[in-house]
Structure 1
Amino acid sequence: MSIARLSDLADAATCPRLVIKVGSALLVAKGEPRRAWLEGLVDEIAAARARGQDVVVVSSGAIALGAARLRLPKGGRANLADAQAAAAVGQIALAELWSELLGAKGIVAAQLLLTLEDLEDRRRYLNASATLGRLLQAGVVPVVNENDSVATQEIRFGDNDRLAARVAQAANAQAVLLLSDIDGLYDRDPRQSGANMLPLVRGVTAEIHAMATGGSGSGLGSGGMTAKLLAAEIAERAGIVLAILNGTYDRPVARALDKGIGTLFLPRRKDAARKAWLGGRLRMKGALTIDSGAASALRSGKSLLAAGITSVEGSFHRGDPVAIRDDAGTVLAQGLVEYDAAECVRLLGRSSAEHADILGYAPRSAVVHRNQLVLL
């Protein structure tokens, strides 16, 4: 059995494990938690567990709560130092809130704070995955947030939509529910006359991206429809379903699933675990531009050879992730490179037979091997 419609997300047989992402604007109003709304959502989490589903919560709100307590301007986002301080204060309040409300339903809550590096580094990713798995096995509801008290602009997700998709990968979930302030994805700005909501999307394409508008309307969060589509792409590579639902209603999950109101993104592919992790990486250390022949070879499942590389960007080392682009600048793939950047420059456009003479040692079979590469 597979997920084909929104109502399937409430079926433990088709969706035994799901991730629910809650944004700041839904959880916090005027610096205070929206307790009545949140109690309704906790009721829904308890109901999902009662029907046999594991639930992971990805919760924003720490910066908004902390900023109110510290009386910081601009919701704590005036600068990085304010955001980090607000997160440090607000995360305690956020964890206490979830623990209290879930505890009232007899559910144990756990707090898991993650940084971008925790999910980009393979070993740390596997550690996070093991922790999530053990918590769920123990009947706990993990509450996950980005560790904004230490994250900087260079090493952060920046939105919890993509974090939720990565957490779903790590938790081996079947679905991600993104609670938003809108019913779903529209074919144009929903404020425009004639805008239509798309109930079902099979794969995120360039046309789908063109329908999105970036930014957060509330001013509290850091996401927007563009971030949600990027999250859908991450989920898709792991064969995970993603849904955008309107969270502004009481008991929003039941409303959306019972009435079929929302956008459901069905994946077109399911990469193996390591390739799904690689395809979901957000930060590359460099880029390789390739010619049309190399692009065709990649699409047919072959490795990337130096002969097809036309330019090298960035400072990277063997084993680092790099983007692979065509001559028009479109990113075709990403993978773990077998050579340092300086070595790639020396090998640029040269045939494999020349590599030993150029490098002075026996060369590797490819610049990016097909087993360490994923097409996007």
Structure 2
Amino acid sequence: MNATETDAAGFGQVMTGDKPRIVVKVGSSLLANTPDLRPRYAFMHGLLSDIATLRDKGYEVVLASSGSVALGLNVLNTDGEEAGVQEKQAAAACGQPVLLNAYKQIAQEHGFDIAQVLVTLEDLEDSRRFLNTKNTVHKLLELGVLPVVNENDTITTEEIRVGDNDRLAAKVAQMIQAQDLVILTSVDGLYDRNPDEEGAELIATVDDVSEYLAVTSGTNSLGTGGMFTKMQAANMAQNAGCETIISRGIIDEPISAALENRRPHTRCVAKSTPQSAWAVWLTDRLQMAGSLVLTQEAADALEGGSEGIACTDVVSIHTAFQKADVLHIYDERGVERARGLSNFSSDEAALIALNPDREIRDLLGYKAEKTLVNRKNLVILEDHHLPWDEPDEKLRVIAA
């Protein structure tokens, strides 16, 4: 069994027992008072009290928490709007112990302990690091400890960061095969327009996330990445068979009240037949690692076909990639058709495609098949997947 097959099997491993699992995501606005940016202890008490109740009922809970940068800005006496990347990294370093100390003290009042799990984009996008992170979270749940997950903002920059804890929480929900993803925010849920506008109505149920992306893309209270990323997260969770609830973060029973339909919220329905864990990891990406365009004939042959993608099927390469990166695969009309794990780097793929009659060993110095993406490592995109726009810049044109 090769490394990829081992990874694929690892993605499919069941987590702990038969206990239902919930991932709860909490935003900075709920955790830090404004304008002084100090912890909102009343909300944190309500949140952890509710988590304690859920744990007593048999749930396993993971908390995806923002707040470290906001709380750290107060420590540094720095204005968030004027802070640059380095100031925010420093703020995260100062804010993490403030946030975790508050969580730890309150959690211990309710009879359980917490653990910090800091992750980066690579921890979620690289298959081996993803599995290592999964194993850590698995063990913490097995031992009865509440994992508190956050992006490691002390070392990340704009180019290499997840960027929002909504999608990070969805990745964690996929990782632990959660039944519910609860996103607590400052509004009751998704509205059909800016909730400040007269006549705005709360959308109670969402089946197809793509129908509502236009509502969330403006620069109003729904936009600026806020509700838009929540819809992206909901789509990622849906594909893994996880239901997403978007609800206001009240103090009393913020999670349970939404789960039990005792207060307004938006519920994004899970797909009845979720993909495998391996397919979900391949398709739901946080950042594009590489992309290419296939001939229309080769792209059309992907659906229902038993073959993978050959280097000679490639028309052009748009984004550089390395071996084992996940590729976004487009047809000549610009429609994204599939995603799959690459057997070569972009330089190697171009070299093979431009020299179809030469042996791989002569070109690369080692023996390999000419298949760029094996069929077992290829997932055809369906209507419920949110596609990525094709990059404009071509690094290499393989075929005229």
With structure 2 as the length reference, what TM-score do the two structures score? 0.81
Which amino acid letter does the alignment assign opposite residue 323 of structure 1?
H
1:151 aligns with 2:152: no
Structure 2 unmatched ranges of 5 or more: 1-16, 382-400
Which amino acid letter does the alignment assign opposite residue 120 of structure 2?
T
How many angstroms does 1:71 deviate by? Answer: 0.2
Residue 8 of structure 1 aligns with which residue? none
Q: 1:187 to 1:240 in 2, by over 3 A?
A: same
**Alignment partner for residue 246 of structure 2, among 226, 236, 244?**
244
Residue 271 of structure 1 aligns with which residue? 275
Which amino acid letter does the alignment assign opposite residue 85 of structure 2?
L
**For the aligned residues, what is the CA RMSD?**
2.7
Within a 5 Å distance, the mapping from 1:1-376 to structure 2 comes to: 16-30=20-34, 31-74=37-80, 78-205=83-210, 207-213=211-217, 217=221, 223-248=225-250, 250-257=252-259, 258-259=261-262, 261-268=264-271, 269-302=273-306, 303-346=308-351, 348=353, 354-356=356-358, 360=362, 364=369, 366-376=371-381
Cα deviation digits, residues 175-226 of structure 1 (max 9, x gap)? 2111111222223333334433222222433x2322223668499xx84111
Structure 1 unmatched ranges of 5 or more: 1-12
- Return the alpha-carbon distance in structure 1 between the equivalents of residues 202 and 309 of structure 2: 40
How many angstroms does 1:346 deviate by? Answer: 4.3
Which amino acid letter does the alignment assign opposite residue 264 of structure 2?
I
- Return the alpha-carbon distance in structure 2 between the equivalents of residues 123 and 56 of structure 1: 21
How many angstroms does 1:349 deviate by? Answer: 9.0
Which amino acid letter does the alignment assign opposite residue 252 of structure 1?
P
How many angstroms does 1:63 deviate by? Answer: 0.5
- Return the alpha-carbon distance in structure 1 between the equivalents of residues 126 and 256 of structure 2: 36
Cα deviation digits, residues 70-105 of structure 1 (max 9, x gap)? 101226x62111001000000000000100111100
Which amino acid letter does the alignment assign opposite residue 151 of structure 1?
T
- Return the alpha-carbon distance in structure 2 between the equivalents of residues 292 and 65 of structure 1: 52
Which amino acid letter does the alignment assign opposite residue 129 of structure 1?
K
- Return the alpha-carbon distance in structure 2 between the equivalents of residues 123 and 109 of structure 1: 25
Is the deviation greater in 308-317 or in 151-160?
308-317
Is the deviation greater in 225-234 or in 267-276?
267-276
How many angstroms does 1:348 deviate by? Answer: 4.7
Is the deviation greater in 20-29 or in 338-347?
338-347
How many angstroms does 1:314 deviate by? Answer: 2.5
Contact 2:70 2:80 in 1 (8 A): no
How many angstroms does 1:327 deviate by? Answer: 3.0
How many angstroms does 1:231 deviate by? Answer: 1.0
Q: 1:349 to 1:308 in 2, by over 3 A?
A: farther
- Return the alpha-carbon distance in structure 1 between the equivalents of residues 90 and 374 of structure 2: 43
Which amino acid letter does the alignment assign opposite residue 54 of structure 1?
E
Number of aligned residues: 357
SS, match of residue 301 in structure 2: helix
Identity %: 39
Cα deviation digits, residues 133-167 of structure 1 (max 9, x gap)? 11111111111111101111111111100110111
- Return the alpha-carbon distance in structure 1 between the equivalents of residues 59 and 96 of structure 2: 26
SS, match of residue 261 in structure 1: coil
Residue 4 of structure 1 aligns with which residue? none
Q: 1:262 to 1:19 in 2, by over 3 A?
A: same
Q: 1:188 to 1:295 in 2, by over 3 A?
A: farther
Cα deviation digits, residues 292-328 of structure 1 (max 9, x gap)? 3333222335423345432112322332222112334
How many angstroms does 1:347 deviate by? Answer: 5.0
How many angstroms does 1:169 deviate by? Answer: 1.9
Contact 1:214 1:224 in 2 (8 A): no
Contact 1:310 1:348 in 2 (8 A): no
With structure 1 as the length reference, what TM-score do the two structures score? 0.86
How many angstroms does 1:289 deviate by? Answer: 1.3
How many angstroms does 1:240 deviate by? Answer: 1.8
Which amino acid letter does the alignment assign opposite residue 175 of structure 1?
D
Cα deviation digits, residues 238-282 of structure 1 (max 9, x gap)? 222222111145432233233252122223342222221222232
SS, match of residue 287 in structure 2: coil
- Return the alpha-carbon distance in structure 1 between the equivalents of residues 240 and 343 of structure 2: 24
Is the deviation greater in 127-136 or in 275-284?
275-284
Which amino acid letter does the alignment assign opposite residue 262 of structure 1?
H
Which amino acid letter does the alignment assign opposite residue 239 of structure 1?
G
